[in-house]
Structure 1
Amino acid sequence: MELEHAMELFAVFGGIECDIELDFLDDLELLIRFSFVERYLEFSNLISPSYLLEEPYRYILISIARGDGRLTNVFRKARVGDTLGMSIVNQLIELGIVELEESREAPLKKYPNQKLEKSLRSYKIEAKIRFKQPFYRFWFGFVEPYSKDLSQNRSQRFFENFEQHFSRLNSLVFEQLSNELLNQHYNDKLKSMGSYWDVNSEFDILAKTTRGETVVGECKYKNRRVCKSELTKLKQKAEVSGLKADTYALFSKSGFSNELLNSEDEDLILFELEDFRKLL
């Protein structure tokens, strides 16, 4: 099985491989039609507990799957208050459906009476909510919003949304696997890893080694090679956010330009799609 096909399958069925019988060598669209259109009710029974498909859990989970994961944005899109929202999130954490990724951003105020610029006064440092299994992210991001159609064997709107947004889902899984590959590269000795976001920007990877070195990474799941301009933009973003990187790591599905491949930068690591085979 090709690695790209394996990653796409993982983005849809990751976490439930032992609960289903499918020929994963088939075309992805055929598998999705067979699983979520022809066998919609059967696959809906894999969502456990079943009340997750009811309000207000359903709205919260759809908001997590289709947004940036920030608590404020999730509650706003789900149209629930903070108290009820946090109560539901805590239940989902206990069920092992989601997890919180805490913000690592330093407080904007360096001392108590510091006055912030007007544009920053409403800014809030907050955690993000992540799904623990790709299947649940796919279900609530792509299937559940069209549950009424799919239960009646109507699939047009479902597939239109799938074709428009599936690349974003692949990018999220690629980012997750890139973190794991980076940790393996450092012999499982990363002290911390994951994404990083602050008032200025967002980074796919910010990792710290046991030796105190900082690694800043960018993941590109695109059908084109990554060029040096991407590295330049990453360095500029890091400077604006005050991140002092000892190493930059680039991850690309479609490889790199000759300029990057021939680079003699000692602070640069390049990971291509074939490198992910080490995770199998």
Structure 2
Amino acid sequence: MAHLKEGRIRQQLIAFQQRFPYLSLAQLLEYFAVFGGREEGVHFEFFEDLEQSVERIYGRKYARSREWIRPSYLLEEPYRRLLIAVAKGDGKLHNVLRRARLDERTGGRLIDELVCLGVLRFEESREAPLHSRPGRWLPRELRRYRIQDKLRFRRPFDRFWFGFVAPFAGDLERGKTQRFMEGYRQHRDRAFSLLFEQLSAELLELHFAGEDPLSSLGSYWDLHNEFDLLVLTESGELILGECKYKGRPVCAKELHKLREKAKVSGLKVSRYALFSLSGFSRELRERRQGDLLLFELEDFRRLLEAG
């Protein structure tokens, strides 16, 4: 079961909004994904957009942003390599260790230290173990399957720094920002998507607080699929969610795909929740009833009002 108070992000968002009250709600979410948890010492120029702020603060002033990493030895190996692996991968524990080229003993020791420092946290898998039936063995490929917990950063700033800045440290130390900015432009949605999922989970928690409080929330992954959100209410309802940070308005096709994935994973879903900052198609809006919940940009303002 995912603990409701584990990895709380709403209070960080509120603190960020108090530091930069002039940002619109859409800007707030985007800037928070890049600088969240690092309010002190950061300022934005009036005529800059987010991309220009990223280039100035992390690119041209790289040496200063490097000093924000505490403790400073996280910039050294093998910590740096491990944190980059967490930031750039899917977060699954064994995948992280393989990507960071660390054995389980060494990697486990480093991860425990980073958790104690408050840099990382665990998100536990909620997948049920595979069991063989009497007289039948699991296929060989399933016998090798390992359920994995995931590693998450506690602050958006740390995730962005190790996912986007640290891999180009050599260039940035020499004053070269081109490859760093190309990487940012190419993969920028990755910086925002996971944070959007976390904020969506907490918005869903607020939505059900008075009606049927949640007993478990977070993402969900199993042998077959990964889902942005799976939450359980105290009454036993299972709500499955999909989060679309950018792009066109979400259409009914996304709901159909989510239903099909739920069938493959054998999930008995009570309701579906879709989150989109670009809105929804007319067809979906007309179907918003009973087992379908829709949340868009203005709904996220509730996170700031519930501090």
Please give the TM-score of this superposition, normalised by the length of structure 1. 0.96
Counterpart of 1:204?
A: 228
Distance 1:58 1:241 in 2: 35
Amino acid at match of 1:279: L
Distance 2:288 2:254 in 1: 16
Distance 2:296 2:45 in 1: 23
Q: Is the 8 A contact 2:59 2:180 kept in 1?
A: no
Shift of 1:16: 1.0
Counterpart of 2:80?
A: 58
Q: Structure 1 residues 6 and 190 mapped into 2: Cα distance closer, same or farther (>3 Å)?
A: same
Question: What are the equivalent positions in structure 2 for 1:222-233 lying under 5 Å apart?
Answer: 222-233=246-257
Counterpart of 1:267?
A: 291
- How many residue pairs match? The answer is 279
Shift of 1:145: 0.5
Distance 1:111 1:84 in 2: 36
| 1:30-73: CA deviation from partner (whole Å, max 9, x where unpaired) | 21122112221111111100010000000000000000001111
Counterpart of 1:152?
A: 174
Counterpart of 2:238?
A: 214
CA RMSD, aligned part only?
Answer: 1.5
Q: Structure 1 residues 186 and 264 mapped into 2: Cα distance closer, same or farther (>3 Å)?
A: closer
Q: Structure 1 residues 68 and 246 mapped into 2: Cα distance closer, same or farther (>3 Å)?
A: same
Shift of 1:272: 0.7
Amino acid at match of 1:176: Q
Distance 1:82 1:30 in 2: 40
SS of residue paired to 1:225: coil
Please give the TM-score of this superposition, normalised by the length of structure 2. 0.88
Match of residue 33, structure 1, among 39, 55, 60: 55
Q: Is the 8 A contact 1:149 1:155 kept in 2?
A: yes
Note if 1:122 corresponds to 2:144: yes
Shift of 1:115: 1.1
Distance 1:39 1:177 in 2: 29
Counterpart of 2:41?
A: 20
Counterpart of 2:216?
A: 192
Counterpart of 2:191?
A: 169
Shift of 1:96: 0.3
Distance 1:248 1:41 in 2: 46
Distance 1:51 1:33 in 2: 24
Match of residue 258, structure 1, among 277, 282, 297: 282
Distance 1:112 1:79 in 2: 39
Q: Is the 8 A contact 1:9 1:24 kept in 2?
A: no
Shift of 1:246: 0.8
Shift of 1:210: 1.4
SS of residue paired to 1:165: helix
| Structure 1 alignment gaps of length 5 or more | none
Report % sequence identity: 52
Shift of 1:119: 2.5
The answer to which structure, 1 or 2, has the higher relative contact order (CA under 8 A, 6+ apart) is 2
Q: Is the 8 A contact 2:246 2:276 kept in 1?
A: yes
